[in-house]
Amino acid sequence: NPKENKSYDNTKSREKYKLVYELSEKYNCSVAQVIVSALCGNEDFLTVPIIGGLEENQIIDSLKGADLKMNQSDVFSLLKRD
């Protein structure tokens, strides 16, 4: 539904995706792994990400993010609210 997606299609979301993509290149991993790593690696907020996917390889890829260690400044830049 185009109306539902409209709330996510904005400048802040596009900038955040660009950052996630840049971090995936920096750490040589997938975008999903960056997100999972940031959620698991946030020292200030305990979180347990719920991982899912349509195919088994998507789930396996996302799970690898739990082992990815990003530096705290990258985690902070990704999770901070603008």
Closest by CA position to 26, among listed 59, 63, 61, 75:
75
Give counts: helices (H), strands (E), the chain: 5, 0
27 vs 80: which has the higher pLDDT: 27
pLDDT over 70 at 21, yes or no: yes
Cα separation, 41 vs 75, in Å, equals 7
66, pLDDT greater than 60: yes
pTM of the prediction? 0.83
